């Protein structure tokens, strides 16, 4: 009886990095930050621990790269749904967001929604996603310089859609359309409350 030993493969740095990020995407979706040693993680990824350190510097670096990757994916999904017209279709973009979370529920909930306790670098990444949505909402309402109250309310609304989407994805108890409309009309409520005309 022989143990199946994967032989050494030599990839380009770009390919290897992409492969490892793909693995991190799945790994951190399922396992807590410190649930395994770097040795075990490297084994699961099919590489040596040295390689993980080479590419990401360590556990935290690997985690952060995975967070950044997921943030990129989330924004890209909305970008795609937005299209390249100059009018903003809030329903379409929200649907793009919901689509990404639906297809990547594990990593989204672990990393973007859940986040990592008081880590500045990770916060930068999750905030990138929020800022994208924030600016989209500003553009939709034709606001250039939001007031303090407007900023607070919009950031609150963004948390609303993050939590509600995580919740919806779990059960999908109402239709996707109905759900997206709930989020959109909540945004309109907030605009109305703040006396913002959106025509």
Partner DNA sequence: GATGTTATTGACAAAATGCCAATAAGGAAT
Partner DNA sequence: ATTCCTTATTGGCATTTTGTCAATAACATC
Is 14 among the residues that bind DNA (CB under 7 A)? no
Which helix (H) or strand (E) segment holds residue 92: the answer is helix 90-103
Handedness of CA 122, 124, 128, 134 (dihedral sign): positive
Question: 51 or 166: whose CB is closer to DNA?
Answer: 51
Nearer to a copy of itself, 72 or 127 (CB): 127
Contacts of 88 (CB under 8 A, 6+ apart): 82, 136, 139, 140
Contact flag: residue 153 with a copy of itself (CB under 8 A)? yes
HSE-up of residue 128 (Cα within 13 Å, Cβ side): 17
Q: Is 13 in the site for DNA (CB under 7 A)?
A: yes
Q: Is 22 in the site for DNA (CB under 7 A)?
A: no
Interface with a copy of itself: number of residues (CB under 8 A): 50
Task: Return the percent helix, strand and coil in the chain, to nearest 5.
Answer: 70, 0, 30
CB of 181 to DNA, least distance (A): 46
Distance CA 164, CA 106 (A): 15
Kindly state whether residue 29 participates in binding a copy of itself, applying the rule CB under 8 A. Answer: yes
**Which positions from 101 through 120 interact with a copy of itself, judged by CB under 8 A?**
109-111, 114-119
Kindly state whether residue 47 participates in binding DNA, applying the rule CB under 7 A: yes
Q: By CB under 7 A, which span of 32-40, 92-100, 144-152, 177-185 interacts with DNA?
A: 32-40
Q: Which of 23, 56, 62, 63 binds a copy of itself (CB under 8 A)?
A: 63
Length of the chain: 199
Q: Considering beta carbons, is residue 48 or 189 the nearer one to DNA?
A: 48
Burial label for 162, CB within 10 Å (0-12, 13-18, 19+), is: buried
Among 9, 80, 170, 178, binds DNA (CB under 7 A): 9
Dist. CA 89–CA 139, nearest whole Å = 11
Quickly tell me which residue has 């909305």 as its tokens.
78
Q: Which stretch binds DNA (CB under 7 A): 36-44, 65-73, 92-100, 143-151?
A: 36-44
Q: Applying CB under 8 A, does 33 fall inside the site for a copy of itself? A: yes
Q: What is the binding site for DNA (CB under 7 A)?
A: 7-13, 16, 37-39, 47-51, 53-54, 57-59
């Amino acid at each position: 009886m022989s143990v199946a030993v994967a032989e050494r493969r030599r990839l380009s740095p770009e390919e290897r990095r992409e492969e490892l990020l793909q693995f991190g995407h799945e790994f951190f979706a399922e396992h807590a930050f410190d649930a395994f040693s770097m040795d075990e993680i490297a084994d699961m990824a099919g590489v040596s621990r040295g390689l993980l350190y080479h590419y990401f510097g360590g556990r935290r670096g690997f985690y952060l790269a995975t967070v950044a990757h997921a943030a990129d994916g989330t924004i890209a999904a909305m970008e795609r749904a937005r299209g390249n017209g100059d009018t903003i279709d809030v329903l379409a973009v929200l649907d793009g967001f919901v689509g990404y979370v639906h297809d990547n529920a594990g990593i989204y909930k672990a990393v973007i929604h859940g986040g990592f306790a008081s880590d500045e670098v990770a916060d930068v990444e999750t905030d990138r996603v929020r800022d994208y949505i924030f600016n989209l909402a500003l553009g939709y309402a034709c606001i250039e310089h939001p007031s303090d109250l407007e900023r607070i309310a919009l950031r609150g609304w963004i948390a609303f859609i993050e939590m509600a989407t995580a919740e919806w994805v779990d059960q999908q108890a109402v239709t996707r359309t109905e759900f997206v409309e709930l989020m959109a009309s909540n945004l309109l409520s907030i605009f109305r409350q703040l006396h913002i005309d959106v025509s």
